[in-house]
Amino acid sequence: MELGEQIKKYRAKANLSQEELADRIFVSRQTISNWENDKNYPDIKSIVLMSEVFQVSLDNLIKGDIERMKKEIDTREYARFQKDSTVFTVLFMAMLILPVPLIMLLKWFGLALYVCLFGFGMYYALRVEKYKRKYDIQTYKEIFAFIDGKSLNEIEKAREEGKRPYQKALLTAGSAALAVIIALIMMAAIKSFL
């Protein structure tokens, strides 16, 4: 429920007109009307005064808006995570494919471009890792559930936590092998360049 609807509901319950409520919380009648029609929101002081006038807790007065704001924030977080993950994936693929062509075609300028590409890739990798730490998502199943806006139940969460050590070991070994392959390709490209 919107805060404006809450104000209107509690005002009617207290048998107060907009004018009477405005007098009690030191604002104009038009301000009350704007709040009730969701044209703007009251400040903290006014919310506290209304909770006293209506004799309800702050939580009850603004609860509907808090739930809506949480959902809105979560939706934005999911969207940012998806965007950052997509950008990181594209940059990672570019880092795998582009080192040799860039260096062969553009020489030192190509190497500089590749270093910039690598820097951007690492920046987005750190952003994705920040989301993973914040929401305690490590395994692929947890990541896909997060992207879909879902969460795992307790049993699924326990199973995924059991997989984490194995996935970390495989990820470490795979990353090391990939780093060696990229280093070898880069060394061959630099030797042919010089």
Sites in the chain below the pLDDT cut of 70 = 1, 63-74, 136-154, 157, 160, 163-164, 193-194
Task: Give the model's pLDDT for residue 130.
Answer: 85
Residues 6+ apart with CB under 8 A from 92: 121, 125
What's the pLDDT score for residue 128? 85
pLDDT at position 188, please? 79
Give the separation between CA 132 and CA 127, rounded to whole angstroms. Answer: 9
pLDDT of residue 193: 65
Long-range contacts formed by 61-68: CB under 8 A, 24+ apart = 61/3, 61/6, 61/7, 61/10, 62/3, 62/6, 63/1, 63/6, 64/1, 64/2, 64/3, 64/5, 64/6, 65/1, 65/2, 65/3, 65/6, 68/2
- pTM to 2 decimals? 0.47
Mean pLDDT of the chain: 80
Residue 69 has a pLDDT of 53
What's residue 77's pLDDT? Answer: 75
